[in-house]
Amino acid sequence: MAMAGTSLCHWAPLSLSVFRRRSYLRRRSLLSVSSQLSTDTATIGKDFEGRVGFLGMGIMGSPMALNLIKAGCDVTVWNRTKSKCNHLINLGARFEPTPAQVASSCDVTFAMLADPDSAVAVATGENGAVQGLGSGKGYVDVSTVDGATSKLICESVKKTGASFLEAPVSGSKKPAEDGQLIFLTAGDETLYERVASLLDIMGKSRFYLGDVGNGAAMKLVVNMIMGSMMASFSEGLLLAEKVGLDPNVLVEVVSQGAISSPMYSLKGPAMVKATYPTAFPLKHQQKDLRLALGLAESVSQPIPIAAAANELYKVAKSQGLSDHDFSAVIEALKAKLQN
């Protein structure tokens, strides 16, 4: 329920309790004097008015919700483990004990869950979001899932009269913290327009890709390429080391040439030291490869490199590296016998 003239999301990075109820520096006027903030968006989103729900305070959900709060949005959070919400509640976020209650008290609810099973459970399970959704409300699922799961959630949401947008993101922990995510959306275009300004707070660019399933597919393709690239880079680092080269020199040479990528430059040095601080958990990368293989099978597309990469991530999982950064896949290549 939006209150006219209040609860506007704006850019002033000031104390929430003082400015939440004032229509302070309107974002549009701020943008008219400053350079365009989101260079890849065709239009600047109209300011969002109303309450925003956020389900899932994990590695990604927590900084995303935090950015919304910092921007002056009225945010209500939920997490399966309540304690993970505390730091946000301390900054002024509301809390509801179930996804249903978040959805019913908010105009638009975002969900950031780890995998298809949790995305479905949070949306349609016991006390799930659909029990609080209804006409005029929106549900934006930013989890990374397969197309079928997304369509299932979409149907359940639409049955309540609410609208649905799938919006998985490209980018991990740091881009989430820095508001630099890339949204790959599909589904209800009106809802997309409605939440565009929120996406612009959390991200640096957004794409609208059409029918539900297209966002999910695009995300899986991107992460498939990423997973294969990391596996290949791991092979290179290990081979360099085994033939008497300094892997740090390989990292530097790669960073100077045609195959230089932020991912390699950022993670290479840590990988050489066999440390894998978690920005993107390995288990999620493997999940994405598994889903990409499923997508490929559904369209009869052979993807042998991705299949080989998936095997490596599975080995790494069996080595107990699920919660390490996905760069830990290099360990799967090292000669180690299981105890």
Which region, judged by CB under 8 A, interacts with other proteins, from 81-89, 91-99, 189-197, 240-248?
240-248
**Selection from 52, 39, 44, 41 nearest residue 26 by Cα:** 44
* Number of C-beta neighbours around residue 114 at 10 A: 19
To other proteins, the closest distance from the beta carbon of 240 in angstroms equals 5
Q: Are 170 and 222 in contact (CB under 8 A)?
A: yes
* Residue 205 sits in the site that holds other proteins (CB under 8 A): yes
From 70, 64, 140, select the one nearest 102 (Cα to Cα). 140
Q: What is the DSSP annotation of 219-242?
A: HHHHHHHHHHHHHHHHHHHHHHHH
Interactions with other proteins, residue window 23-62 (CB under 8 A) = 40
Interaction between residue 217 and other proteins (CB under 8 A) = yes
Task: Single out the residue of 73, 292, 321, 328 in contact with other proteins (rule: CB under 8 A).
Answer: 292
Q: Name which of residues 140 to 169 contact other proteins (CB under 8 A).
A: none
Q: Alpha carbon 226 to chain centroid distance?
A: 15
Using the contact rule CB under 8 A, the part of the chain among 17-25, 43-51, 87-95, 246-254 near other proteins is 246-254
Stretch that binds other proteins, among 8-16, 92-100, 107-115, 251-259 (CB under 8 A): 251-259
Using CB under 8 A as the binding rule, whether residue 263 contacts other proteins is answered as: yes
Tokens 């978040």 identify what position? 102
Site track for other proteins across 298-327, x = CB under 8 A? -xxxxxxxxxxx-xx---------------
- Choices 48-56, 57-65, 108-116, 244-252; region in contact with other proteins by CB under 8 A: 244-252
Element (H, E) at 186: strand 181-187
Least distance to other proteins, CB of residue 101, Å: 35
Partnered with residue 14 across adjacent β-strands are none
Among 102, 140, 201, 240, binds other proteins (CB under 8 A): 240
| 73 within 8 A of 197, measured Cβ to Cβ | no
Instruction: Give whichever of 37 and 221 is closer to other proteins, judged by the CB atom.
Output: 221
Cβ proximity to other proteins: between 232 and 278 the closer is 232
Residues 6+ apart with CB under 8 A from 289: 223, 224, 227, 306, 309, 310, 313
Site map for other proteins, 185-204, x if CB under 8 A? -------------------x
Cβ neighbours of residue 53 under 8 Å, at least 6 residues apart?
Answer: 75, 76, 77, 78, 96, 102, 103, 105, 106, 108, 109, 110
- # residues contacting other proteins (CB under 8 A): 64
Q: How far is CA 210 from the centre of its chain?
A: 19
> Which residues belong to the active site?
219
Compare residues 138 and 171 and give the one whose CB is closer to other proteins: 171
What are the φ and ψ backbone dihedral angles of 334, each rounded to 5 degrees?
-80, 145
- Length of the chain in terms of residues written: 339
3-state secondary structure of 210: coil
The verdict on 254 binding other proteins (CB under 8 A) reads: yes
Binding to other proteins (CB under 8 A) within 169-188 occurs at 170-172, 182, 184
Cα torsion for 99, 101, 103, 105, to the nearest 10°?
-150
The span of 11-19, 72-80, 191-199, 217-225 binding other proteins (CB under 8 A) equals 217-225
Task: Tell me which residues touch other proteins (CB under 8 A).
Answer: 40, 170-172, 182, 184, 204-205, 207, 209, 214, 217-218, 221-222, 224-226, 228-229, 231-233, 235-236, 238-240, 242-245, 249-250, 252-254, 256-263, 266, 292, 295-296, 299-309, 311-312, 333, 335
